[in-house]
Amino acid sequence: MIACVRLWLSSPTNRIWLALVAASLASYTLGGTRADSAWSTWTVWLVFGLALTKGVWVMDEFMGLRTAPVLWRRLLLGWLVALCLALAGLSSMG
């Protein structure tokens, strides 16, 4: 059983899927626990930080940007970083 789990976890694709699920549950938990109170600035940044991390994992591991030409990788990761920063900034201003 443990050997099966180890074998399953030896695949980067499987590990990334597991990490994505964990990060999604963390985002949801943050949303649920703070739903009745005003969102503090740090919570907004934390949730968008999680979204950014998930996005980087999807781009690098699933879309294969880790082995893409540098310009493409910088362009797409730059887009994601800029978007998450802008959305977190705008959302924390409210």
User: Min. distance of Cβ 9 from another protein in angstroms?
Assistant: 14
Three-state DSSP class for residue 34:
coil
Binding residues for another protein restricted to 29-88, rule: CB under 8 A: 30-32, 34-35, 39, 44, 47-48, 50-51, 54-55, 58-59, 61-64, 67-70, 72, 75-76, 79-80, 83-84, 86-87
CB atoms within 10 A of CB 88: 19
Rounded to 5, what percent of the chain is helix, strand, coil? 85, 0, 15
Name the nearest CA neighbour of 19 among 55, 46, 73. 55
Per the CB < 8 A criterion, the answer to whether 61 and 16 are in contact is yes
Task: Report the interface residues with another protein, using CB under 8 A.
Answer: 13-14, 16-17, 20-21, 24-25, 27-28, 30-32, 34-35, 39, 44, 47-48, 50-51, 54-55, 58-59, 61-64, 67-70, 72, 75-76, 79-80, 83-84, 86-87, 90-91, 93-94
